[in-house]
Homo-oligomer: A and B are copies of this chain.
Amino acid sequence: MDRTRLEAFSDGVFAVAITLLALNLAVAAPGHVSLLHQLGTHWPSFVAYLISFFVIGIIWVNHHVLVKSIKVVDRMLLFLNLVLLLFVVVIPVATGIVADYLSSTAKFAGLNGTDTQVAMALYNAVFLGMSAGFGCIFEWTLHGDRVLQPVPREQHWAARIRFVGGASFYVLGIVVAFVNAVASFVLMGLVAVYYIVERTPARPQTPGEHGAADSPGGESPLI
């Protein structure tokens, strides 16, 4: 198994999942309620769409960076990659559920009704699963002679702690969901913004790789 097809398959899954996200933005057929009113009450759909879109986008970037340095593709890596994708493809569904429950809470049980809180916890749990899947792939790269620019052994624990630091926000999000679903939503948005602005901790940050592969010509990262 060469790396190319692992990337092609994963890219396909990421691309389909990110496109299906938008289907959650569909509105009811004409004749029921005014379109403007629908768009107004559907704000959680738009927020959830933005968060999920950028989280999938970020994990795609990180997946790419990690995979391109891999020298050995064994069955364990393929299995771990499937575990990651297992959670990625659930994101559109989880996004739809959280958007539905947050949008309709006014009518049924308020923004913090139990169902809304469960939906929000579920949404966080799917992202946590995705993080865990990615973390397993990262852990796999730490052992043996599997990547081109391995993280030095003495930095393993630092790298793991940085990674767990990021993923722990989703654990926090699950807890917060049962206190205040909207607060959990805000937290997830902040995590997404943080990941866009920052280089993710999961990435091996060897100076050579950064200066060379990513930005030839002394280009500095713009964000």
Chain A interface residues (CB < 8 Å from chain B): 1-2, 5, 7-9, 11-23, 25-27, 29-31, 34-36, 39, 50, 53-54, 57, 60-61, 64-65, 68, 71-76, 78-79, 82, 85-86, 89-90, 92-93, 96-97, 100-101, 104-105, 107-108, 114-115, 118-119, 122, 144-146, 196, 199, 213-217, 219, 221-223
Contacts and interface: CB of A to CB of B under 8 A. Distances in A.
A74 B219 CA distance: 8
Contacts of A39: 118, 122
B7 A217 contact: no
A30 B100 contact: yes
Contacts of A61: 1, 75, 78
B12 A219 contact: no
B118 A36 contact: yes
Given A104-B30, A115-B36, A9 B72 contact: no
A218 B70 CA distance: 15
A72 to B, nearest CB: 5
B27 A79 contact: no
9 contacts: A1-B64, A1-B68, A16-B19, A31-B104, A31-B108, A34-B115, A35-B115, A35-B119, A39-B118
A163 to B, nearest CB: 18
Contacts of A20: 16, 19, 23
A58 to B, nearest CB: 9
A25 B115 contact: no
Contacts of A90: 22, 25
A105 B86 CA distance: 27
Contacts of A104: 29-31
Given A1-B64, A22-B93, A196 B108 contact: no
Query: What 6 A-B pairs are tightest by C-beta distance, nearest first?
Result: A12-B15, A76-B222, A16-B19, A35-B115, A57-B82, A22-B89
Contacts of A64: 1, 5
A101 B30 contact: yes
Contact of A9 (B11, B23, B27, B219): B11
Contacts of A73: 214
